[in-house]
Structure 1
Amino acid sequence: MKYSIYNILFLFALTASICSCKKFDELNTDPVKPADTSPEQLLLSAEKSAMDALYNSIVNNRVGMHYAQYWSATDKEEGSRYQLDEGSNSTLWSLYNGPLEDLKEIERLNETSSFPESVPNQNAIAGILQAWIIQTLADTYGNIPYSQAVKPDVLMPPYDDAATIYLDLIKQLNNNQAALDAAAPSYSSGDVLYKGDVTKWKKLANSLIVRIAMRMSEVKPAEAKTAIEMAVKNGVITDNTDEALFPYTGEAPNTYPYNELGRELTEFVVSETLVNYMEGLKDPRLEIYARPATNSKTIIGKPYGLGTNSASDAQKYSTPGVRVYAPDFPGILITSSEVQFLLAEAAARGMNVGGTAEVFYKAGIKANMDFWKVPEAAATTYINSVPYKSSGWKNVIGTQKWIAMYMQGLQSWYERLRLQFTKPDGTPLFIAPVAGSLDPNVTMVPNRLTYPVVETNTNARNKDAAAAAIGGDTKGTKLWWQKF
């Protein structure tokens, strides 16, 4: 990979700023040798740039949080009515020329490493992060560049079949988790997710396998069962201390990408869908997810896709809670709660994952209560009020998982599409935009994003072939794992 001046300057600015914070590992750099980039620097750059791209306002908030129907908007309401902002689209696609390039460069540098004993662990960790990013892109678009992507000599990479990509990601994650060796050196610095702890990286790899395999469970049930049972046997995340969270800080430029440090945020309010459902359940997390509206002093949600753009909506309706707008709110890769819900679903589907669906279901709620620091008594009361029921388990697990994945806009959107859940009593949870969709191919919610305009300009032939292969480049086209 050839670094531009921008990339080099960014890397050194990132290193300098992060070194000043105790939450990050110290990095040793030589400012007079900008070409001597280390695997540690590249890993840090990849972890941060990926999280920054996924959790900024235009990707997480205007796509993910809208499509998961957690939030409504006070401005640019056309986003909740499915008019796609191309800035959001190109930012998400930039995962290719930012973090994926960094992770591939780690492998290239390690071909001539002066510390060969650390190479297997370093490459395996880089590979795990690549799988996470690639799955995110495949779940957003469908067929994407993969086998020939991020290669310096391939300017117009072909698109690979998303189903084939999925199977290869499981294979690669299995290989990477097997290659991790706790007795060998890893990253001495740069890894702010796990500080080079290969035991935790192994659990992350297996947990990502469970996420990937479960997403294809309706269309490839045998392959999903095999992959999930093996991953659980090898060890997944079951404790909040092993969660993959990027530790943003209270100091710029290492703050959560969308936060209230130094300014009041008024662009978004919580949706009526979220508020009404959580109020009906007497969910103690609601007062964390949202704050009382300025006018009424009560928590009130805005009807989704109402079609009104008004600054006064930020006073009429509840804005998101103080905690989720904190500068040190973490970037979430995967949580213990999500894994527990995945295991609950696996057990409900008859897989051997070491427990019952009910046990994992309750553990998923409890882990999320702990994440949000809900008092023990309140958490116990709530768990007892929403019992697991094997009949209609998709709706029971789906609704509680949706509540627990608040702030994980993209992942929650994917799960909404996959599980197609309603409230446990069978009545609809989600609504179509009140003012109607602005996309003629979408009524309730987009199934995917259209390919970015940049691909039309630079890789049109391969993009068009991919569009034809998936059934058309529209937001209404179903992804391969939805076709059941």
Structure 2
Amino acid sequence: MKKIHLLTPFCALLIGLSGCEKGFDQLNVNPTAATALNPVFTFNNAIINTSFPASILIFEEPIVQQMFSPNSGIIAGGNYNIDNRGSAGANAALWQRYYRDVIRYLVDGLDKTKSDASRSNLYNMMRIWKAYAFMVLTDTYGDVPYTEAGMGFLGSNITPKYDAQEAIYTDILKELTEATAALDATKPTEAGEVMYSGNIDRWKRLGNSLLLRAGMRLSKVNPTLAQSTVQKAVAGGLMQSNADNCAVRNNANYQNSVGTTLNATEAANYYLTGAFVDYLKSTEDPRLASIAVRYVGARSGVEQTAARANRTAAVQIGMPLGYDNGSIPARASADGLASFYDYSQLDRTRLGRFDVPCYLLTYAQTQLLLAEAAQRGWTTGNAADYYNAGVTAHMQQLGDYDATSLVSAANITAYLQKNPYVAARGLEQINTQYWVASLLNGPELFANFRRSGYPTLKPNPYPGKEIKGNFINRLSYPDAEISVNQANLNTVVSRQGPDNLDTRVWWDKQ
């Protein structure tokens, strides 16, 4: 009888457990958790992360001689014409940000929307953005993973092949053309995306303006294709004003990496170059007063105080290239300065703030590219008019950083009268203005300088350079590729050339 009494409650327990199994699989399910992620959120994440890393201060800005640091160590690069590899190498920063935080989100979003007719506008917006991101990557490094990129999660491919830059550009032109044409305001317009809040007209103008940039990039390597691409972009409709500017709008939560760096550890280490300041002063450019600050008499970073800040154009003195932290003090003394902390800097309370926009493609740049296209006879219109519109747009754009940086209408008019467009010097004038108008857009500055050959800059005279030529031609691949994707890296090196700073990308034809 005792055994019967013991088994009875045990059997009852089993019966109870059997009954509970009907809901057992839901015990650890959060009823309020999302079961699927709206792809517009991953798209927004990609857009925000397209903002440039602070490494543009180490390579692109010094290469084009707008801003640099005389210091060595982890911030050595374009200032000395040497590479900067290793686990924290500045050569890898753009690669890592774009592949990890832009491309992979876009590839996932495209996969989720390609067969959804109700999300066709989102799908084509992402195609345009992907084309932009890959232009930045391939212009910076040359041949890069493209067709197999971002497939680590979707296809378990963690060793993507490298595609030739010519093939990448062929597909970018196709993607921009098709995606821009496919945008349709009669379909759901995706108001939740953070760039244009679903404004289809502005997205179309972005797509065509990016197509114009891509076409002009081919001006040396394939002028015929460049011309036909430019004409297609113009016919489609380009940016119409600064309201169309493509920029990542930063704030306290999503900070500008360059601004954060310039207001933190490197606040006293970066300076405007003599080449940049001297050019702006020589043309009496009112933008110098919007861009620069000099802490007059400062003998240390601590002495770079508001009381010493002088933003008057006449007192600005750019730091000359060719010096390091050991040799620059003597040069500063020879220039009549208290120390090298007395040279002019990008104003970190205005253009260099942590919350300023990161401009990716602008109306000013678009008008200047149109000026070049008109000067080459590739499009209709007057090159001088486009030139004037581009210069004006950038001077007005400065007010978007800070109200005190806005150039007045009177000063814009006076500048254009003093510096009129001269057709005989058209390409030089246009692309030198493009240089100024692309300040802080490191990848585009670097790309257009190689493409156009302007502005005319003297080579950085710093001794001990690692390059054979006068200027860096591309950035090297991350060291991580050697350990995780070496076979494909070896293939691209055999095709493109040595993985160093001298090898030219495909469109940079000598």
Q: Same fold (TM over 0.5)?
A: yes
Matched, 1:347 2:374: yes
Asked if the contact 1:244/1:335 (under 8 Å) is kept, the reply is: yes
Matched, 1:385 2:418: yes
What letter matches 1:57 in structure 2? Answer: A
Residues 122 and 295 of structure 1: is their aligned pair in 2 closer, same or farther, counting only changes over 3 Å?
same
Q: 1:50-89, aligned counterparts within 5 Å?
A: 50-51=50-51, 54=52, 56-58=53-55, 60-76=56-72, 78-79=76-77, 80-86=79-85, 87-89=89-91
Q: Which runs of 5+ in 2 are unaligned?
A: 1-29, 299-309, 330-337, 399-405
Asked if the contact 1:303/1:434 (under 8 Å) is kept, the reply is: no
Asked if the contact 1:74/1:313 (under 8 Å) is kept, the reply is: no
Q: What residue in structure 1 maps to residue 445 of structure 2?
A: 412
Q: What residue in structure 1 maps to residue 501 of structure 2?
A: 475
Q: What residue in structure 1 maps to residue 322 of structure 2?
A: 305
Distance in 1 (CA, whole Å) between partners of 2:162 and 2:121 is: 29
Q: What residue in structure 2 maps to residue 337 of structure 1?
A: 364
Q: Given the alignment, which residue of 169, 174, 179 partners 1:176?
A: 179
Asked if the contact 2:166/2:506 (under 8 Å) is kept, the reply is: yes
Q: Given the alignment, which residue of 281, 284, 288 partners 2:283?
A: 281
Q: What residue in structure 1 maps to residue 335 of structure 2?
A: none
TM-score (norm 2): 0.81
Q: Which is further off, 383-392 or 196-205?
A: 383-392
Residues 34 and 445 of structure 1: is their aligned pair in 2 closer, same or farther, counting only changes over 3 Å?
farther
Asked if the contact 2:493/2:499 (under 8 Å) is kept, the reply is: yes
Q: Given the alignment, which residue of 446, 465, 471 partners 1:445?
A: 471
Structure 1 residue 263: Cα displacement: 4.9
Residues 437 and 210 of structure 1: is their aligned pair in 2 closer, same or farther, counting only changes over 3 Å?
farther
Matched, 1:403 2:436: yes
Identical-pair percentage: 27
Structure 1 residue runs of 4 or more that deviate by more than 6 Å after TM superposition = none
Structure 1 residue 431: Cα displacement: 2.2
Q: What residue in structure 2 maps to residue 362 of structure 1?
A: 388
Asked if the contact 1:67/1:409 (under 8 Å) is kept, the reply is: no
Q: Which runs of 5+ in 1 are unaligned?
A: 1-29, 423-428
Matched, 1:154 2:171: no
Q: What residue in structure 2 maps to residue 106 of structure 1?
A: 109
CA deviation digits over 1:283-322, x for unaligned, max 9? 1001122102331853111112312257986622112123
Q: Which is further off, 304-313 or 35-44?
A: 304-313
Asked if the contact 1:248/1:328 (under 8 Å) is kept, the reply is: yes
Secondary structure of the 1:481 match is coil
CA deviation digits over 1:16-43, x for unaligned, max 9? xxxxxxxxxxxxxx99536632112101
Q: What residue in structure 2 maps to residue 139 of structure 1?
A: 139
Q: What residue in structure 2 maps to residue 256 of structure 1?
A: 256
Structure 1 residue 236: Cα displacement: 0.8
Secondary structure of the 2:296 match is coil
Asked if the contact 1:73/1:268 (under 8 Å) is kept, the reply is: yes
Matched, 1:225 2:265: no
Asked if the contact 1:307/1:434 (under 8 Å) is kept, the reply is: no
Q: What residue in structure 2 maps to residue 3 of structure 1?
A: none
CA deviation digits over 1:333-381, x for unaligned, max 9? 10100000100010111112x4111111111101111111200000111
Asked if the contact 1:100/1:150 (under 8 Å) is kept, the reply is: yes
What letter matches 2:60 in structure 1? Answer: G
Structure 1 residue 398: Cα displacement: 1.5
Residues 78 and 443 of structure 1: is their aligned pair in 2 closer, same or farther, counting only changes over 3 Å?
farther
Q: What residue in structure 2 maps to residue 202 of structure 1?
A: 204
Q: What residue in structure 2 maps to residue 465 of structure 1?
A: 491
Residues 66 and 197 of structure 1: is their aligned pair in 2 closer, same or farther, counting only changes over 3 Å?
same
Asked if the contact 2:212/2:233 (under 8 Å) is kept, the reply is: yes
Distance in 2 (CA, whole Å) between partners of 1:111 and 1:392 is: 47
CA deviation digits over 1:77-136, x for unaligned, max 9? 6321122323322221121122111111112222575xx42x110110011110001011
Distance in 1 (CA, whole Å) between partners of 2:451 and 2:207 is: 22
Structure 1 residue 282: Cα displacement: 0.7
Secondary structure of the 1:332 match is strand
Asked if the contact 1:304/1:431 (under 8 Å) is kept, the reply is: no
Report the structure number with the largest CA radius of gyration: 2
